[in-house]
Each structure stands twice: as C-alpha cells, then as structure tokens.
Amino acid sequence: MTERTLRRLRCTIGVLVLTVLVLAATQWPMGFDEGIWLYVARAWVEDGHPPYRGTVENKTPGIFYLFTLSYLVAGPSHVPPRLAGIAALLGFSLVCGALGRRLGGPLAGLATALVAGLAMSARAVDGPDTSSTESFMVLFSTAAVAAAVAAAGRRPGASRARGMLWAGVWLGTAIAFKQVAVATAPALLGFAWSLTPTGTRTAGRSVRDASWMALGAGAVTMASLVPLVLAGVSPAEYVEGAWLILTRRGSRVPGTVSERVAALPPLWAQPPFPFLVVAVLAFFALRRRLRDRAVPWGAIALWTALEAAGGLGSGSYFPHQLKQIVPPMAVAAGLGLDELGRLVARRGVGPRRVAALVLGLAGLVFLPHATVMGHPAGAPTATGRMIHLSAGRFIRASTRPDEYVFTWVGGGLVQITTRRRSPARHFNRNFGETAAAAREILDAFEARPPRFIAVERRAPAWLAAYIADCCDLAQERGGGLLLVFERRPEP
C-alpha cells in the first residue's frame, strides 16, 4: 500500500472510532462515578474543601483536577469530562495503532487502532461513560509502552535514556489517574529487555532503563501533588486518601476466591471479550511465526497478564475496570489479524484486498452493535441513574442553599444533583462502613444537622437509629430502592 492509501485508511478509522465514541457517550445519563467526582470538585470550588482533606474518595488526583476544571467552566455537568474522555480514547486508539505499526507493520497498526477504538465503545466496558478514570489511564499507560518500545531499539546513550525517561513520565501520568496503572511497570522492562539488541542486553542496562523510568514517574507524581499542597493538603493526607484507603472497606469487595472466580465467566461472555480472547489465543498459537518476525511475543504476553491482574484484582469487576485489559489484547488482535493477512497475501491476493479483508473483518467483529443500534440492554443502568437523579432534584427543590444533605448511597448522583453540601467528608456509603467513619459522620451530624438523608436499600444500624430519632420518610423511589428522609421540624 502507498503512504497516501495508509493515510486515508488511518483517517477513515479515526472518523469511525470517533463517531462510535460520541454515539456511545450520548446514550446514558450522568454516571454514579461522575457524580462523585463532580461533588469532589464542587466541594473544592465552592466550599474550599480540597480532595482527601475535605472529601473522601479513593482516586489519585488526576481525575479530580479534570473534573474541577470542568466544574469551573460548566458547573455540575458531565458533558465536558465525557468530551475529554472521548479525546483520550481516540488518542488511545491512535497510540495503539502506532504501537502495532512499530511491532508488526502498517496493516497491523491499522487493525490494532480499529480494534482498540471500537472495543472501548462497548457496553461491556461501560463505553458510554467515556469520562471514567480508565479512559485516561489507558491512554498514558499505552503511551508508556510505546515509548519503551521505541527507545529499546536505540543504542545506549542519551537518546535511549531520554526515551526511557519519557516512558516513566507517561506511566506516572497514568498513575496520577488511577493507582492500578503501576501494574504496567514490569511490562515496560519486559519490552525494553526483549527489543534491546542481544549484544547490549545486560542486567546493568535493565537497571539503568528502570532508573530512568522511575525518575520520570517520580517527577510526574511529585508534580501532580503541587495543586494539593497549595490547597493545604499534606503528603500524609494524600497517602492516606489515595493509597492506604485501598485497604479499607469500600475499595475491597467481600467474597471468597472461589466466588470471585465463579463471577468471571459472565464478564467474558459479553462482546468484545469473546472475540478478544479468541484473538489472544490465536496470537499465542502464532508465536513461532511472530518470533521469526522479531515480534516481542513474550513481552506482549507478560503485558496481557499484568493488565488482566490489574483490571480484575479488586474483585469488584465493574465493567469500566475492564478497560485496562483492552490495550494488550487489542495489540495481540492486531498482530494476529496482520498475520492472517500475510497468509492470504501468500496466495497471490493484492495488498488492497488483503487490507480490505483484515480491516473489514476487524470492523464487523469488534463494532459494538448494541451501542450503534441503541439496544435496550443499557436500560437498567439508565433507569437506576434516573432514580438517583430524580431524588436529587426533589431534595434540591425542597431545601435552601445553606442546608445540608447526606446520602448513604453508592456513587454521588444524588448529592451533586441536590447542589447542597454534605455535613461530613463522607458523602456516600463507599468508605463509611467502618466504626471510625461512623463516629466521624455522627459528629458531623451534631455540628451540621442534615435536612435530608437519602438511603439506598438499607441503612446500617447506627444510621437507622439516627434517622428514627430525627426524621420521617418523605419519598420512596424505585420500589423501595431509594428512601428519602426529611428532618422533623423542631418544636
């Protein structure tokens, strides 16, 4: 194929991916996590309460900065963050394409970009929630892999060191959006080792590569803390709020190992994962052919295993967490499809027909049909969100701006829709299920009594006792799914 044809194909794939991402992003209302991060932004912008100190949420600060900037511009709207997520996922598709092209050639790059972009639009990975932390994390973690791959083929010297430093910078940026991006770090070393010419492949070289990567990641991490420190957040508060909190209830999901294993098969039954799994199995079967072409088969296999461990490690299996598994699987799929094209080309088929076959097959298989057709499979998700949004609007209409609202619900939709302050740092139930959190919340109630309390499903004993003492049921939504209690007028 000529360079002109390749450019046209890249543009066509980019337009298709962008179209599907935009279509996906318009299908669901504001999400539970979007409500959380918008409320964290609101608390910082309007009340002067920065993350970690003024609100409790277990994310590294990148997502808070993004939503805070959005709040400053557009208020409590999820549209700007979703647009930023669309840009990040489109960029991710392009980076995957560049990585596939470097590892397998032009057709491998096109197929990888197409698979990566379409897979991220599927409902199996919460495609409509383009603003999830994983959308930004995978962009930068994949850029880190691409930088390590590009630097590994260079001779020892300033150029290689600079490339490894950039790999660390991109990895640090990914970690600034979600902690689990650290799972990618060993894969960077795997690519650096396997693609380094044999004559210069030494343990000392790997140590130097790792040192440059660590320097880049550390520098970005330090830079990411500057706005927090300027807002009065201490390093200890950051460590507690972004890292140590991961060991607390709310971050961890109860259940035995066997129960978690039993929950895995349904995840892999939803497109695009059956096709991605088949592609990875084909990639493994073709390992000899790929090794003959100097494709770093082992490093890609390691990357796949690491991202699978990271995406599934929490045990919660939220669909958006599965975005982390897509990058290495998309690269494996692109390389496998490219190998299929090479087999067809050996039979005398021209390059244009080979490209049409490979890209047409990738498009048909990985196109998220439920997203494109507006299939009602998303209805339960949208309905649950609408229940929370309507409860928030009712509370907002029934309160003054200076009154407090507390929500014992999953996510932050009710709280951000009320546009009212929470009396406590805990503004949902995610990290409130400890004795220390309960005491802190009750102390906050004493100082700042909430006018309304919204409870999803069932309140814990300490909260139920408080509600019975002070409040009456004002509204019930979703057949008892969400209960809204109002404080009785004081005598």
Rounded mean pLDDT, 376-404? 89
pLDDT above 60 (res 254): no
Counted domains in the chain: 2
Residue 247, pLDDT score: 83
With contact defined as beta carbons under 8 Å apart, do 304 and 332 qualify?
A: yes
Least confidently predicted of 145-149, 168-172, 252-256, 417-421: 252-256
C-alpha closest to that of 453 among 416, 415, 401: 415
pLDDT at 176 (0 to 100) = 98
Integer angstrom CA distances of residue 235 from 170, 230, 232, 242, 407? 22, 11, 10, 10, 28
Helix (H, G, I), strand (E, B) or coil at 41: helix
| Domain boundary residue, one of 374, 390, 419 | 374
Given the structure tokens 């066509």, which residue do they identify? 12
> Average pLDDT, stretch 324-351?
94
Among 365, 357, 335, 368, which Cα is nearest to 118's? 368
Check whether residue 283 and residue 427 sit in a common domain: no
% of the chain residues with pLDDT over 70: 97
pLDDT at 253: 57
- Within this chain, do residues 164 and 294 fall inside the same structural domain, yes or no? yes
Helix (H, G, I), strand (E, B) or coil at 422: coil
Question: For 439, what's the count of Cα atoms within 13 Å in the CB-facing half-sphere?
Answer: 3
* Integer Cα distance of 209 and 167 in angstroms: 10
Residues 168, 115 within the same domain: yes
Least reliable range by pLDDT among 27-31, 116-120, 201-205, 487-491: 487-491
Rank 110-124, 265-279, 280-294 by mean pLDDT and report only the highest: 110-124
Amino acid type, 398: S
Question: Per-residue pLDDT tens for 338-356?
Answer: 999 999 999 889 989 999 9
Taking residues 50-57, report their average pLDDT.
Answer: 97
Check pLDDT > 70 for residue 183. Answer: yes
CA distance 54 to 50: 5
Whether residues 33 and 133 fall in one domain: yes
Q: Encode pLDDT of 93-137 as tens digits.
A: 999 999 999 999 999 999 999 999 999 999 999 999 999 999 999
- Which two structure tokens, joined as six digits, stand for 180? 């689990």
**Stretch (H or E) spanning 404:** strand 404-408
Q: Same domain, yes or no, for 348 and 434?
A: no
Residues 323 and 402 reside in one and the same domain: no
Q: What CA–CA distance (Å, rounded) separates 452 from 348? A: 73
CA atoms within 13 Å, Cβ hemisphere of 11 = 6
Closest by CA to 451, choosing from 422, 419, 411, 410, is 422
Task: Please tell me whether residues 428 and 292 are part of one structural domain.
Answer: no
Looking up tokens 């919460």, which residue turns up? 126
Q: Report the length, in residues, of the chain.
A: 491
Cα 378 to Cα 29, 274, 323, 326, 339, distances in angstroms? 11, 19, 18, 21, 36
Residue where the block lists tokens 């494996």 = 332
Furthest C-alpha separation in the chain: 90
Q: How far apart are CA 142 and CA 73, in angstroms?
A: 29
Looking at residue 78, what DSSP letter applies?
S
Note the pLDDT of residue 438.
96
In this predicted structure, the answer to whether residue 252 has a pLDDT above a threshold of 80 is no
pLDDT band at 262 (very low <50, low <70, confident <90, very high): confident
The pLDDT value recorded for residue 473 is 97
Cβ neighbours of residue 102 closer than 8 Å, sequence gap 6 or more: 109, 146, 149, 150
Is the same domain home to 291 and 402?
no
Instruction: Give the model's pLDDT for residue 200.
Output: 85
| Last residue of one domain, picked from the residues 337, 352, 374 | 374
Sheet of strand 450-456: strand arrangement: 404-408, 450-456, 482-487, 471-477
Round to whole Å and give the CA distance between 475 and 447: 25
Q: What type of residue sits at position 178?
A: K
Is residue 465 over pLDDT 90? yes
Mean pLDDT of 391-397: 97
Nearest to 194 by CA among 181, 209, 183: 209
Q: Do 366 and 385 belong to one domain?
A: no
Mean pLDDT along residues 51-72 = 97
Phi first, then psi: give them for residue 84, nearest 5 degrees.
-65, -40
Determine which helix (DSSP H) or strand (DSSP E) holds 489, and give its type and residue range.
none
Tell whether the model's pLDDT for residue 17 goes beyond 80.
yes
Contact 85, 130 (CB under 8 A): yes
- Strand spans (E) along 98-180: none
Is residue 89 within 8 A of residue 127, CB to CB? The reply is no
| 223 and 339 assigned to the same domain | yes
Q: Give residue 174's pLDDT band: very low, low, confident or very high (50, 70, 90).
A: very high
What average pLDDT does the segment 219-227 reach? Answer: 97
Hey, which of 58-72, 241-255, 286-300, 302-316 has the most confident mean pLDDT? 58-72
Instruction: Tell me, rounded to whole angstroms, the distance of Cα 117 from its chain centroid.
Output: 14
* Same structural domain, 221 and 169: yes
Residue carrying the six token digits 């029934």? 398
Q: State yes or no: pLDDT of 88 exceeds 90.
A: yes
CB 426 within 8 A of CB 448: no
Backbone angles phi, psi at 28, to 5 degrees: -120, 150
Burial 214-251 (b: 16+ CB within 10 A, else e): bbbbeebbeebbebbeeeebeeeebeebbeebeebebe
In sequence order, what DSSP letters do the residues of 430-470 get, joined into one string?
A: TT--SHHHHHHHHHHHHHS-EEEEEEES---HHHHHHHHHH
Could you say which of 324, 340, 374 is where a domain stops? Answer: 374
Residues 59 and 142 reside in one and the same domain: yes
- Give yes or no for residue 182 having a pLDDT over 80: yes
What is residue 268's predicted lDDT score, i.e. its pLDDT?
A: 82
- The answer, yes or no, to whether residue 373 has pLDDT greater than 70, is yes
What range does the domain containing 474 cover? 379-487
Residue with the two structure tokens 């979600």 = 178
User: CA 175, CA 220: separation in Å to the nearest integer?
Assistant: 9
20 SS3 class: helix
